Chains A and B, each alone.
Chain A
Amino acid sequence: MPTKNLEEKRWFNFTLSPMIGVAIKMLMGDTGKYIGMIVGITFSALIMTQQPTVLLGLLSRTYSLISDASYPDLWVMDSKVQAVDDVKPLQDTKLLRVRGIEGIRYAVPLYKGLLRARTADGNSQNCSIIGLDDATLIGGPGNMVTGKLEDLRRADAVIIDVDGANKYLAQKLPDGTRIPLKVGDTLEINDKHAVIVGIAQTTPTFGSLPSIYTTYKRSLAFAPQERLKLSFILAGLKPGIDPAPVIASIKKYTGLTAYTSEQFKDVSLQYFIDNSAIVASFGIVILLGFIVGAATSGQVFYNFTQDNIKQFAALKAMGTSDGMLVKMILVQAAMVGISGWGIGAGLVSLKGFSLGSNGDFPFLMPWQVVASSGGGVLVIITFAALISIRKVVKLEPGLVFK
């Protein structure tokens, strides 16, 4: 038999050796421990995937206004503004000065405020009021469920978001059922009459407040009397213009700060991360999931190896090399890891995409989250495998005779 050639072949082609099949059968033959290990990894993968998706879903709501605003290339604001919810009103004249900057195609006002709205049945609720430029309606929601954005030009018109209409401002009957607001229903916003002309699908706000869109002038009428009311200036760039020099010019000539939409999202997100404990709280849960998963899976995997120690000793005595035993254990660990991770991440996806589709459940699952949880599982199974590998490599094959 050409043993040397076969040995080399086995070494270079991981999948060729039937010993890998032996390892898989050893693993799956011990059904109880196999399931136990998969449950441990599934638990970890579930926590390490689900918690970040909820966290990201929540964090994405901190810049929901920016995400939903259509058209603007730049958001211009007071230089002290730290986030989209940190409104520091500007003088109206700033709008004209921004329009005068080289490279700016248009600049329109945006009002953002918190006002109390009351429905016809007496229900009242704080709402986020967004006032859009009367002429262009730039910054309005891009996804209308009922009505058209242009309907805002009608008298006393407002557009409300789906969650506001169906949940927060819906009429609540004594038996607990809700009658959603619909087009034609009326509201009182800061004691001013308003008529719903449309319902928009928007990203839920972090504070779970209804969003009400109207024109800029009407929003000023709703708002209490203040000296400064202009919250943000939404600006568009001329075609082919790089935003960076325009942003620099805005700062230089107006003293205002400007960001692209993506930059403003990042700034708002960073502000929230820096000033709340939510990331740390979620981080602790994720870490606990990792530790518990590592401990349980590591322990069960080690027990599995320990229970099969005489089999490993027999294989070693019969001439199985340490390298092949290491491969066998790695394959066993990989099978447990891939199965557990697949089930865990799959369950999160199913839950998130089924519940997340209605907008109530905070859920955002970029590929990086799935990859990160996969990385976490990889660390756990590597840890579990290393303990077992150490045990088997140090194993004295003479154990079979005891």
Chain B
Amino acid sequence: MSQPVVICKGIQKEFGAGADAVQALRGIDVEINQGELFMLVGPSGCGKTTLISIIAGIMNQTKGECLVLEENVSVMSSAAKVKFRAKNIGFVFQTFNLLPSLTAAENVAIPLFILGESKKAAVKKAHDLLDHVGLKDRGISLPSELSGGQQQRVAIARALIHNPKIIVCDEPTSALDHETGANVMEMMQKLSKEHGTTLIIVTHDNRIFHYADRIGEIDDGYIKAIHAPETTLGRPYA
């Protein structure tokens, strides 16, 4: 059995204060294992994005404890969290968030730039990784010159390039058509298995549920159930 890389205990998150306070998470307990492809599903506003933000160390919970890679991110200083994210977490965003004036290879190389690697070495690695995700000759293209699927592949390469232990994905296929989304998921699944990376994916897209090892269903700030993908197949979360 793989070791858990994420252990959340009693995570609560409240936005605002007093009468206007909104309880986004009401006590989340979950463990996510190394190399696992874990999906978080649920209706809009149920707290999925809030939970991955806390796991990724870009948001603080109100109560509870979150151990990521055996480090308690709940008690880390802001500066320590920044370094922790740079080293251990990869991100894939719904709208890709590629820098429009940078080439595909430069976008992919950003995590290495952040870690202080030289531009030449980082861009070379980026070109190699783009080759690996099927964008061999597109390294010098600007994002505007790429299709949506190609941009998402660039974003995935960017999330992988610094060999993070965990990749957090927010709706990675929602901006893509069915076929492109399937291709992207297959690629992510393959790359995560190759690198032993844990994938935590927030999604509404029931067409990709079957790629998951486990699915956590969130509703109203709680995890209602964690189960195999077959149980959830065909149930859309809109």
Contact = CB atoms under 8 A, between A and B. Distances in A.
Interface of A: 1, 3, 6-7, 9-10, 17-19, 21-22, 25-26, 28-30, 310-311, 313-322, 324, 396-398, 400-402
B122 A18 contact: yes
Given A9-B116, A319-B85, A400 B97 contact: yes
B82 A25 contact: no
Contact of B111 (A9, A25, A311, A319): A319
Judged by DSSP, the binding face of A is helix
Contacts of A402: 49
Contact of A319 (B87, B117, B118, B119): B87
Contacts of A314: 91, 93, 97
Interface stretch (B99-107, B180-188, B208-216, B227-235): B99-107
A19 B82 CA distance: 15
A322 B95 CA distance: 23
Of the candidates A25, A316, A318, the one having the most CB atoms from chain B within 10 angstroms of its own CB is A318
Interface of B: 49, 52-53, 56, 58-59, 79, 82-87, 89, 91, 93-95, 97, 99-102, 106, 109-111, 113-119, 122, 170
Contacts of A18: 109, 113, 117-119, 122
Contacts of B83: 3, 7, 319, 321
Given A19-B113, A318-B111, 9 more contacts: A3-B115, A9-B116, A10-B116, A22-B102, A310-B97, A318-B114, A324-B114, A400-B91, A401-B49
A189 to B, nearest CB: 71
B62 to A, nearest CB: 14
Nearest to B123: A18
B116 A3 contact: yes
Given A17-B116, A26-B101, A319-B87, A401 B53 contact: yes
A313 B93 CA distance: 11
A6 B117 contact: yes
Of the candidates B82, B89, B111, the one having the most CB atoms from chain A within 10 angstroms of its own CB is B82
A25 B100 CA distance: 9
A239 to B, nearest CB: 66
Given A18-B122, A401-B49, A311 B99 contact: yes
Q: Ordered nearest first, which 6 A-B pairs have the shortest CB separation?
A: A29-B101, A319-B86, A6-B116, A18-B119, A314-B97, A319-B85
A10 B79 CA distance: 15
A26 B79 CA distance: 24
Contacts of A6: 115-117
A250 B171 CA distance: 92
A397 B54 CA distance: 11
Contact of B119 (A21, A397, A398): A21
